[in-house]
Amino acid sequence: MRFINKITLLLLIVGGLNWGLVGLFGFDLVAALFGEMSVLSRIVYTLVGISALVQLLPLFAGQDENGRSAARS
């Protein structure tokens, strides 16, 4: 699961940086690289969204990044 965690975290960083560029400069890096709403850009946006969902699962399940229960007794 660590591999998936690292990949999803990397995708979220890319997505966050892209949104930062959009917010600060009105520049969409993904669209500039792959074309505005092209198949490739839509794949990148979809993967970033799926990554966010994957990262939410441990948060709501009360687990840490290694899948162990975060609650200590």
> What is the band of 70 on the pLDDT scale with cuts at 50, 70, 90?
low
Structure tokens at 48: 């970033």
Residue 64 has pLDDT above 80, yes or no: no
Structure tokens at 42: 């839509």
Summarize pLDDT for 10-36 with one digit per residue, the tens: 999 999 999 999 999 999 999 999 999
Model confidence at 57, in pLDDT bands (50, 70, 90)? confident
Amino acid 66: pLDDT: 66
Hey, which residues does 63 pair with through a beta bridge?
Answer: 69
